């Protein structure tokens, strides 16, 4: 298959390129320099030349604070950009695989969210991503929307300009010897190489629709940090932060654990426990795109 990957130099996009290439597909890597999602003409022209069978969209404006400051831009990229892709995919009779987020939920539930649960985003980022989902689902004749959460990969997250949560924890431990982490926000931390492999598996199916795709199980950020330090044998004083100790400028869901119900019901769920994904990441991430510059720059936080 000819597969066009949008956001190809991103944290997830680079692993998607690697996974499709490893599976023997012909991959066309598109970066922001090649194509601006918000511009219909550019999307139609660039993809029209390549004529892919599958378009995978990993690109987004997903820095939560920035989205709040620039809502029109966030909507142009995450909403209208997805619409542009959906219209173009139809022109090319291509399958559109579109990556979305757990931030479409408000986090008031205390059991994992399923695909049938009603979304209710708390912020501009979540709202614009939800708009993108709706455009893709209502326009693209062949589509697979995959919601994931708490992602970390070997390549730096470009939107946050640096380290993922795992590397931030290890850096703080090395530099400060003591770390305080929130214990009242729950996610399923998911290794990007595993999302990429799931995307390849999904692309081989004839399925259309909305899918949750995260590592199995869940934890608080504190529990995630504890596992990182345990697996790496890091000596550090780890403490749970008091509720409200690190107030976020923009509201975020406190609980955004997803259940991969649709993948499971079709026998397609490839995800293992989040602890297994973390172990794999720490074992130099076999199956992941090679890292250009590990521990590259400034610290960043969890999802956007």
* Nearer of residues 188 and 269 to ligand NAP, judged by Cβ: 188
Q: Where do we find the tokens 């070997």?
A: 154
Given the rule CB under 6 A, which of 18-26, 31-39, 106-114, 204-212 is the region that contacts ligand NAP? 31-39
Between CA 218 and CA 83, with CA 270 as vertex, the angle to 5 degrees is 85
Decide: is 252 part of the binding site for ligand NAP (CB under 6 A).
no
Backbone angles phi, psi at 137, to 5 degrees: -70, -30
Decide: is 149 part of the binding site for ligand NAP (CB under 6 A).
yes
* Nearer of residues 236 and 271 to ligand NAP, judged by Cβ: 271
DSSP labels for 52-93? -SEEEE------HHHHHH-HHHHIIIIIIHHHHHHHHHHHHT
* Nearer of residues 155 and 275 to ligand NAP, judged by Cβ: 155
Decide: is 198 part of the binding site for ligand NAP (CB under 6 A).
no
Given the rule CB under 6 A, which of 136-144, 155-163, 167-175, 276-284 is the region that contacts ligand NAP? 155-163
Decide: is 95 part of the binding site for ligand NAP (CB under 6 A).
no
C-alpha span between 143 and 2 (Å, rounded): 16
Strand, coil or helix: what is 275?
helix
> Considering 75, 103, 125, 281, which one is annotated as catalytic?
125
Decide: is 127 part of the binding site for ligand NAP (CB under 6 A).
no
Token pair, residue 13, equals 């996009």
Q: Are 219 and 185 in contact (CB under 8 A)?
A: no
H helix and E strand count, the chain: 11, 12
Q: Are 80 and 38 in contact (CB under 8 A)?
A: yes
Given the rule CB under 6 A, which of 134-142, 156-164, 170-178, 228-236 is the region that contacts ligand NAP? 156-164
Q: What is the DSSP letter of 290?
A: P
C-alpha count within 13 angstroms, C-beta hemisphere, residue 281: 30
Using CB under 6 A, which of 3, 4, 10, 236 touches ligand NAP? 10
Decide: is 202 part of the binding site for ligand NAP (CB under 6 A).
no
Let me know if 125 is a catalytic residue. Answer: yes
Using CB under 6 A, which of 151, 196, 199, 300 touches ligand NAP? 151
Residues 50 to 79 in contact with ligand NAP, rule: CB under 6 A: 58-62, 77
* Nearer of residues 156 and 269 to ligand NAP, judged by Cβ: 156
Instruction: Cite the active site residues.
Output: 125
């Amino acid at each position: 298959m000819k597969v066009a990957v949008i956001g190809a130099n991103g944290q997830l996009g680079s692993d998607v390129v690697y996974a499709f290439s490893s599976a023997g597909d012909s991959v066309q890597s598109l970066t922001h320099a090649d194509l601006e999602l918000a511009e219909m003409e550019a999307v139609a022209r660039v993809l029209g030349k390549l004529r892919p069978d599958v378009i995978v969209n990993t690109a987004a404006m997903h820095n939560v604070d920035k989205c709040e400051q620039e809502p029109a831009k966030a909507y142009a990229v995450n909403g209208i950009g997805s619409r542009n892709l959906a219209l173009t995919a139809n022109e090319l009779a291509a399958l559109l695989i579109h990556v979305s987020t757990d931030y479409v939920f408000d986090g008031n539930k205390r059991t994992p969210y399923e695909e049938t649960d009603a979304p209710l985003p708390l912020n501009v980022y979540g709202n614009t991503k939800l708009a993108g989902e709706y455009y893709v689902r209502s326009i693209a004749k062949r589509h697979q929307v995959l919601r994931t959460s708490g992602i970390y990969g070997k390549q730096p997250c470009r939107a946050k300009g640096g380290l993922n949560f795992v590397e931030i924890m290890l850096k703080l431990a090395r530099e400060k010897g003591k770390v305080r982490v929130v214990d009242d926000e729950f996610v399923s931390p998911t290794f990007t190489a595993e999302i990429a492999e799931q995307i390849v598996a999904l692309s081989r199916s004839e399925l259309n629709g909305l899918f949750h795709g995260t590592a199995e199980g869940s934890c608080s950020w504190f529990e995630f940090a504890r596992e990182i330090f345990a697996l790496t044998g890091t000596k550090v004083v780890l403490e749970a932060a008091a509720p409200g100790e690190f107030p976020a400028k923009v509201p975020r869901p406190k609980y955004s654990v997803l259940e991969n119900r649709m993948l499971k019901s079709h026998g397609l769920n490839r995800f293992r426990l989040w602890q297994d994904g973390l172990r794999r990441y720490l074992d130099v991430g076999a199956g992941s795109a090679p890292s250009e510059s590990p521990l590259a720059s400034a610290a960043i936080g969890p999802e956007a």
